[in-house]
Structure 1
Amino acid sequence: MSPLGWILTLSFAGGVLSVIAAALIGLGTRASAVPHLISYAIGALLGAVFLEILPHAIENAQNVHNLAATVLGGILLFFILEKLVLWRHCHGHATGHDCEAHEPALASHGHGHDHGRSGLLILIGDTFHNFVDGILIAAAFLENPSVGLVTAFAIIAHEIPQELGDFVVLIHSGYSRTKALLFNVLSGVATMIGALLAYYALSSVQEWVPSLLALAAASMLYVAVADLIPGLHRRPEIKATVQQVLLIGAGIGSIALVRIFVDHG
């Protein structure tokens, strides 16, 4: 197989197949379990940001201060995007009361959704992230085919828990399971696009990697902290809080375990 063929195959596995694997787990989950999976999703998103994406971005950044400014600007950007989504949903209401009341991140019994706000931001950020994954796979394979294989395996391994979290967020945002799978697969295609672009223009594209990673981190951080965590506070009782903390820890731990396996495997 040609180098381009290998790169496309590996990027397909790293993007689309990991999405499908995560979705299969999500599709087999009962609706009543979704509120618990949201706690896991928060942990997976935070783990991906602080254990994977930002460290990699910092390692490759020419200026860490500029990178931090990009994360800050990304958070502001996603705040504005969320406001636009809210405005679109609320436009035409007689009062602002309906707009404030329609959006519980988790209803008291865990069955509310947020009319697509979190899902839209996750799809944008995940597309950036997948695009960068494609660049990383192509760069690693062109450096050394064995390194490319290991890199693709690492990406698949850390994408599955993260994509499971993304899938749950899309369900939580009001998407049907079929649409959530479809949009996640389309987002995964960005991995192949990034790989193709990197194959033909690697030297110029590599300069974008830290900034793209910073934007991906900003979107995931914003969704976890601004959209999902506030919903957990709707259940302040001790038992629910302990469950939430444990599940957030499980989400972080799944990313950390993959990182340890990749580093020492």
Structure 2
Amino acid sequence: MTLLAILLGTLVAGIGSVWLAAWLSFGVISRYTQHMLSLAAGALLATAFLHLLPEAFESGIEAHALFMTLLLGLVFFFLLDKAELWHHGHEHNHQHGHHSAGHLHAEEDHPSHAHHTHTPSRGPVGQWAVLAGDSVHCFGDGILIASAFMADMHLGWLAALAVLAHEVPHHVGDLVVLREGSGNRQAAVLKVSMAGAITALGGAVGYVLVDALHDGLPYFLVVASSSFVYVALADLIPQLQKRLTARETAAQVMWLALGMGMVMLVSAFVHTH
């Protein structure tokens, strides 16, 4: 009975948060597509620095070990991105090298914005980094939910709802990155949903090995953080550095702050309930 509850709770948290994020990013706020990458960058950075890393460091594990994990994670995702670029470059050898090595550009919904997006994108930039980090993060969430259910059924459902709530803002960012890389909304939702389903795997494994895995949870959190930091700083933020008018720059900053604010508000709500 406990295992069934864990599986249901982790699926609700893992996949439910993706679908809710998809409804938000592709429905309610889809008209603001040109600003979504700013929002995504803010959400990913805030998730890493205000939620995952503080939780990891509160575990009592030596800071040096966690910082080393963060550094190795950043290097790993850099190398993963380079391998992705190399593969992409060989598949599209007719494109100019300096364009295929550049950063992705958001597609605009209106022709009037075309002058902002004339540079070719490099394709599926950062997708594997996002999915790998998301999978690790979701696996860790599954262990957390399993631990809560094994302590108390009521606490388990509260933990599942808390995970669902705090996953939505950064899943919005994930979906934007994947959609801009592939241009396919359904494929983006499917890929992130598959990563979200890893939450159930984490819950099942946690049910069997909860004590052993719980000790490694801070490292899972740091590795997930490294993927979000890398994608935000290497793939998203550089696009915000282009020369714009003061009004356009203010809009970028506002959406970046909005992404951070979403995560801060949800985290504050979760920790007070």
TM range (shorter): over 0.9
Matched residues, number:
263
Query: Residue 71 of structure 1 aligns with which residue?
Result: 70
Map of 1:153 onto structure 2: 161
Q: CA distance change for structure 1 residues 261 and 94 in 2, over 3 Å: closer, same or farther? A: closer
Q: Which shows bigger deviation, 180-189 or 204-213? A: 204-213
CA contact (8 A) 2:39 2:258 kept: yes
Could you tell me whether the CA contact under 8 Å between 1:167 and 1:181 is conserved in 2?
Answer: yes
Distance in structure 2 (CA, Å) of the matches to 1:185 and 1:254: 21
Residue aligned with 1:91, SS: helix
Q: Tell me whether 173-182 or 141-150 shows the greater mean CA deviation.
A: 141-150
Partner SS, residue 117 of structure 1: coil
Q: 2:225 is aligned with what amino acid? A: A
Equivalent residues of 2:15, 2:193 under 8 A apart: yes
Aligned 8 A contact 2:73 2:226 in 1: yes
Moved more, 54-63 or 196-205: 54-63
* Counterpart residue number, 1:133: 141
Any stretches of 5+ residues in structure 1 without a counterpart?
none
Counterpart residue type for residue 225 of structure 1: L
Percent of pairs identical after alignment? 36
Answer yes or no: is 1:162 the counterpart of 2:162.
no
Q: How far apart in 2 are the matches of 1:149 and 1:30?
A: 29
TM-score, with structure 2 as normaliser: 0.90
**Residue 235 of structure 1: CA displacement?**
4.1
2: distance between equivalents of 1:110 and 1:153?
39
CA–CA separation in structure 2 for the residues paired with 1:168 and 1:121: 14
Cross-structure match for 1:98: 96
Task: Identify if the C-alpha distance between structure 1 residues 156 and 162 changes in structure 2 by more than 3 Å, giving closer, same or farther.
Answer: same
Q: Secondary structure at the match of 1:52?
A: helix
2:110 aligns to what?
none
TM-score, normalised relative to structure 1: 0.93
Query: Compared with structure 1, are the counterparts of its residues 145 and 224 closer, same or farther at alpha carbon in structure 2 (3 Å cutoff)?
Result: same
CA distance in 1, matches of 2:243, 2:187: 29
Is the Cα–Cα contact under 8 Å of residues 106 and 234 in structure 1 kept in the other structure?
A: no
- Residue deviations 1:29-76 (CA, integer Å, cap 9, x gap): 687632301111111101100111111111125222101100011001
Does the residue aligned with 1:60 lie in a helix, a strand or coil? coil
Residue deviations 1:78-123 (CA, integer Å, cap 9, x gap) = 111111111111137779x812213343265247644112122101
Equivalent positions of 1:1-265 (< 5 A) are 2-28=1-27, 33-91=32-90, 98-102=96-100, 103-106=102-105, 109-110=116-117, 113-265=121-273
Specify whether residues 231 and 155 from structure 1 end up closer, same or farther in structure 2 by C-alpha distance, changes over 3 A only.
Answer: same
Q: Is the 8 A contact 2:99 2:122 kept in 1?
A: no
Shift of 1:9: 1.0
Q: Quick one: which amino acid aligns to residue 98 of structure 1?
A: H
| d(CA) in 2 for partners of 1:148, 1:191 | 14
Give distance in 2, aligned partners of 1:46 and 1:245. 14
Choose 139-148 or 36-45, whichever is displaced more.
139-148
Check conservation: 1:42, 1:248, Cα contact below 8 A. Answer: yes
Structure 2: runs of 5+ lacking an equivalent: 107-114
